[in-house]
Amino acid sequence: MTKDTDRRETEFSTGVGADDELGLSRSEMKRRSTARQKIGEELAHMPMTAVRSFGLSDEIVRAFEDYHKANRNEARRRQMQFIGKLLREADTAEIEARLNEHRDARSLATADFHHLERMRDALMGEEPGALDEVLAAYPAADMQHLRQLVRNGRKEIAAGKPPRSARTLFRYLRELEEA
């Protein structure tokens, strides 16, 4: 017997296919395939500049560009299947790590945004001590400017006008946060 026939006999006797070199079950291979497909879908919803920054192969980047150019749902679905195939053949450990970093950065930015909104709402809602908390958190804040924005914002709310000063107050708080 040659090595080639030994291999074929082993494949047939154990039920393990040639594609299954790692000894993974079919279910595990499908789970991995689905996970890589989801990575592709998540990347497809990102701008192309972000996709290019992931260091993907040129073929995968072209596939994403084609996905963004496709107008019809069926064409997009087929292109997403193709992207999934390309990602199954690629090493996605680094891509997953970068995606996790991207998600973490996005969630931190969202948390900061919500924190600033709560701070603004506390100032506008006349909560006692809200102004003192803001001044303690941001010693460089201009107290007179803050009070003016809060006073104007409360007047706008009482008059039923659009919250122009509240938006300005939010922008000012964001500037203080970034400084």
Any alpha helices (H) in 70-142, and if so which ranges?
Answer: 73-89, 93-124, 130-137
Tokens representing 104?
Answer: 């973490």
- State pLDDT tens for residues 23-50: 889 999 899 889 888 988 988 888 888 8
Topology of the domain covering 24-90: Diphtheria Toxin Repressor; domain 2 (1.10.60)
Tokens of 15: 């039920």
Which residue has 């958190």 as its token pair? 137
Q: Is there a common fold for 24-90 and 107-178?
A: yes
Give the separation between CA 69 and CA 82, rounded to whole angstroms. 15
Each residue's pLDDT, cut to its tens digit, for the chain (179 residues) gives: 555 555 545 444 444 444 445 688 999 989 988 988 898 898 888 888 888 888 888 999 999 999 999 888 899 999 999 998 998 888 888 888 888 888 888 888 899 999 999 999 998 887 888 888 888 888 888 989 999 999 999 999 899 889 899 999 999 999 988 87
Q: How many Å apart are CA 128 and CA 130, to the nearest integer?
A: 6
pLDDT of residue 2: 53
Q: What fold does the segment set 107-178 form as a domain? A: Diphtheria Toxin Repressor; domain 2 (1.10.60)
The residues spanned by each domain of the chain are 24-90, 107-178
